[in-house]
Amino acid sequence: MKTDDTLLTAYVDGELDAAGVAEIEAAMAADPALARRVRVLRDATAALRAAFNDVAREPVPERLLAPLGAQAPHPWRVGALRRYAAAAAVLAVAALGALALLPAIGIELPYAIVAQQQDGWLASVSNYHQVYVRSQARDDRSLVDIGGEDRDYLEAWFGRRLKRDLRLPRLEAVGFRLQGGRVVFVETQPAAQFFYKAVDGGDIVSFTVAETKRKDAGWTEVKRGGLGVIYWRKNGYAYVFAGAVGREVLERAASTMGEREEKI
Amino acid sequence: MDALFRSQLVALLPRLRRFARGLCGAADRADDLVQAACERALARMEQWTPGTRLDSWMYRIVRTIWIDELRAQKVRQRARERQEGEMETSFDGERAMEAQMTMQAVREAVAKLPPEQREILLLVAVEGVSYKEAAEILDIPIGTVMSRLARGRAALVKLLEKPREDGRGGADRIVRLS
């Protein structure tokens, strides 16, 4: 039983190779007691995860942020965090009868945290991008404030948030479809980040508009945390395209926007 | 390097707090632990190799400090004393309360596990690190990772099975396990 438990646990944790998985699944099919044990182990794992996940959603206390040169979230961002917490509560309640169904959500939330540094604004843009990509991999849609079905609504909603006229790039010609957008914080200012997904495959390109006090900058191509990034700044706004895609693809995506007035 | 390191550390804080909460039980002790770990990380920044996983490195520091404190025999007692009523009940409604109590039961069960089972369960099941990474963080062979995880999860399952009122054990469970 002990040996079995070791293998079954490794199976539940996804640590067995294909041959091991096949072996366990065959054994489970033949032995209902074994299958039941796997369910019990899986339920216990899900319950464990659920019991601690909300800690990662709490705002990080000031005393931990300050020594690292970071700031606490903007007040109304905390409100947004509460909304996530409320959504998590609803999920937890819904899953009460079936704890095994509790999703492994919310490992990282886009905290409104910006280290005071030269390049910090770009690092946070790419971090937000990565958080979204990881949430997509878990099929977790809660990180999008508004879905991409209604472009006009999306432009109006985020335009109001950013207090400016907002036009979203159309990337259909490059092979990407709008997924949705969310409010993030870049250098303590609200910013809007929009995600586009490749029509054929999982590649994701993000477009971020952020208010900035930095001086204007022309079209710049850099790498940040495994992402290709193209940005420029004009008239108090930064425009950033990011994605783990080929340089040419990203250039074509950014050009759809750059052909308009913002490009220098 | 310094600024990038700090910002990466900031991004890790929610996860480090979660890990520490699982280890310590009490919220304030857990944050003390994270704070101590961050201070140590900043002091030893040059020991971290850029390109390697900062989260593994940090889990390791958190865990090392926790073990040191355990050895000093302070943390365990205090954590037990503060266990009750520690987690805030922010959810509304009766069923939410029920869910909250279920989670509380799980947290209490985790606090009862031996430290070596608790740390590895939290790392793998909650933090999602692989067996290989867990072996490196805890500095133990992968076979030990597997056997401790199996024992830990079996112990957790047992703890979550509530004995019946008449003391005969069995059917009634705090957490519904299939």
Domain boundaries, chain A: 2-51, 114-258
∠ CA A6-A8-A9, rounded to 5°:
65
Q: Which residues pair with A220 in a beta bridge?
A: A231
Q: Find which of A7, A54, A55, A224 to mutate to test the B interface (most B CBs within 10 Å of its CB).
A: A55
Q: Does A235 touch chain B (CB under 8 A)?
A: no
ipTM of this model? 0.77
Q: How many CA atoms lie within 13 A of A16 on its CB side?
A: 15
Q: Which fold has domain A114-258?
A: Phosphorylase Kinase; domain 1 (3.30.200)
How distant is the Cα of B96 from the closest Cα of chain A, in angstroms?
A: 5
3-class SS string, A73-129 = CCHHHHHHHHHHHHHHHHHHHHCHHHHHHCCCCCCCCCCCCCCCCCCHHHHHHHHHH
| Domains, in order of start, for chain B | 1-84 (1.10.1740.10), 93-173 (1.10.10.10)
Q: Which residue has the tokens 């597997």?
A: B146
Partner-chain contact B178 A61, CB within 8 Å: no
pLDDT the model gives residue B150: 94
pLDDT the model gives residue A72: 61
Q: Select from A24, A264, A90, A198 the least CA-distant residue to B93.
A: A90
Residues of chain A with pLDDT below 70 are 1-3, 71-119, 138-145, 188-189, 258-264
Residues of A in contact with B98 (CB under 8 A): 93, 96
Partner-chain contact A44 B160, CB within 8 Å: yes
Residue A30 CA to residue A180 CA, distance in Å, equals: 45
Q: What is the dihedral of CA B24, B28, B34, B39, to 10 degrees?
A: -130
Residues of A in contact with B124 (CB under 8 A): 13
Could you say which residues from 42 to 71 on chain B have a Cβ atom under 8 Å away from some Cβ of chain A? 42
Residue A255 CA to residue A169 CA, distance in Å, equals: 9
Average the pLDDT over each of A137-151, A215-229, B23-37, B84-98 and give the range with the smallest value.
B84-98
Could you say which residues from 115 to 174 on chain A have a Cβ atom under 8 Å away from some Cβ of chain B? 115-120, 123-124, 127
Please tell me which residue, B71 or A147, carries the higher pLDDT value: B71
| Number of helices (H), then strands (E), in chain B | 8, 0
Between B13, B91, B124, which is nearest A60 by CB? Answer: B13
pLDDT the model gives residue B23: 95
Q: Which residues pair with A217 in a beta bridge?
A: A233
pLDDT the model gives residue B28: 87
pLDDT at B70 over 60: yes
Taking each helix axis from N to C end, the angle separating B142-160 and B131-138, rounded to the nearest 10 degrees, works out to 100
CA-nearest residue to B23 within chain A is A52
Global pTM value? 0.52
Could you say which residues from 12 to 41 on chain A have a Cβ atom under 8 Å away from some Cβ of chain B? 12-13, 15, 36, 39-41
Task: Print burial letters for A146-161: b (CB count within 10 Å at least 16), e (below 16).
Answer: bebeeeeebbebbbee
* Percentage of chain B exceeding pLDDT 90: 47
pLDDT averaged over every residue in chain B: 80
Please tell me which residue, B152 or B26, carries the higher pLDDT value: B152
- Are residues A15 and B131 in contact, defined by beta-carbon separation less than 8 angstroms? yes
pLDDT at B6 over 70: yes
